[in-house]
Chain A
Amino acid sequence: MAAVTTAPARAEPNLLIRIASRPTALAGLIVVTVIILLSVLAPLIAPYAPSQLAVRDRLQGPGMAHLMGTDELGRDVFTRVLYSGRTSLTVGFAVVVFASAIGVTLGLVAGFFRRFDAPVSRLIDAMMAFPDILLAIALVAALGPSAANVVIALGIVYAPRLARVVRASTLVIRELPYVEAARALGVPTPVILVRHVLRNVVSPLLVQATFIFANAILAEAGLSFLGVGISPDIPTWGTMISVGRQFLDQAPWIMWFPGGAIILTVLSLQLLGDGLRDFLDPRLAKDV
């Protein structure tokens, strides 16, 4: 009880309760949470080490000893799916952070300072004109394949979407009286940008970030599958599928389970994002 009363009352005090009232969003939240927990706790849960070879047990189907079977080198697929989740989720999260850093900066600048709006907006339009995966492939090819470069490439690919959302909201907030009040008080512009504009852009930003998290996981898998992403030695869901593809006839489970993990993660993130959008996006809110 004491914890409840001391907890600060937020502007929207019970977002979690509101998410819980919507079954699809709640399902998304639960599955995402479980997947994150499984990945974080992988060393405790996994029955084997991720690169522990067992040549005699190679290409075994799912069973009691190996829940999801073994791969071409006899490594436990369940263990590797768990460990892959760590990389895939980390890459996805890093992409969100990196894309937000670029996108929020561009969006705030374009939305708040009239004279930068045209050049920044045209840059954003130009970047949006490229097909996502093609631009990512080109960037990774230029930078060299590594986890860090995949994050940079996907961050650049997704930044314009965030920039658009932030710009649109900034254009509205810039004209609001509370921003004028701050200017009338002589509050420095950078402080106004953070305290008054950015703080009120957080909701639509959070919604976009959820979708970008899902897209980034998918894109990372795509890049790894195509061989222009993370090195095949590092287990990610994408690299597992890429390798498993060669044994599709004999051992389809090598692909099934990481594939299923991707589908489940992306689907639940999308459901969560849809729910968040209904609650947080002012353009869709009917009564705020």
Chain B
Amino acid sequence: MTGFLVKRFLQALVVLFLVSIIVFVLLHMLPGGPARAILGPKGTPQQITDFNHQQGYDRSLPTQYFMYLKRLFTGDLGDSYKLNSPVFELLKQRLPKTLLLTVLSTVLAVVIAIPLGLLQAVRRGKASDYALTGLAFLLYATPVFFLGLVMIILFAQVLPVLPAEAPQGESVGELLSEFSGLVLPVVTMAFGIVAMFSRYMRSAVLDNLTEDYVRTAMAKGQSNRRIMVRHVLRNALIPLATLLGLYLPTLFSGALVVESMFNYPGMGLLFWNAAQGSDFPVLLGVTLVVGIATVIGSLLTDVLYAVLDPRIRSVA
């Protein structure tokens, strides 16, 4: 198990290294180079030369890359053009909030999707299965922004029980203290995930129900409920673990839409505003964080995999 995790961790480091190269290359692909991007169309050639020299952009690419890495390790991701603040500080402030939103909605989605998928698998072909399948597809096909609008109209306007705007607290604790404001963003984000996860759960359970070991479990004299909980559930969760890790980047992009809709002060909103204002250092900083998150997500999948499936553990 340890060997397996060490192996995966080393692989993750390699991927992170590649991510840093990609972001570095992106930085150099900015239209007209970073100098033009920052100084704008009105910058004189002299200003651009000075800027490049000052920032080290006139040195060789490998040297620049090492400087970039050095800055990266000291937490220097450059300064935002618009917000007049270091990108690192912005991310430090916003990332926990986006994580809060993502984690809450994922947990909510998983908590709903697993029993839902089980239920559908057990009731396969019955009316409740069809109804839930229909609902799942409806939710799955609905764009997040539309779903968010419907939620706002329903629960903030028609039935004014929940605020339409997310809390604007400075820290995660402050956000949590205004929990009612979190409900709509979290639920909106969770719905799309529930649809997908419950479909996966349903088919994973159905696959497992035809396995011989379920028949063996029946032959021991267990009730169907016990077989579901003690035998099928864990085996059915294995494919779901893969999905969870692969889904993480998608979750971040979902957060982007949801945050901008509910004016939630997370990384997605930061990215959204930076994109509109061509605030490149911020965009690249967020890209880097999402890249890292993706790598960590797949690492987490592997860990989860190893926990759930003993066969994976002994391969390493």
| A, B co-complexed | no
A positions within 8 Å CB-CB of B: none
A-contacting residues of B (Cβ < 8 Å)? none
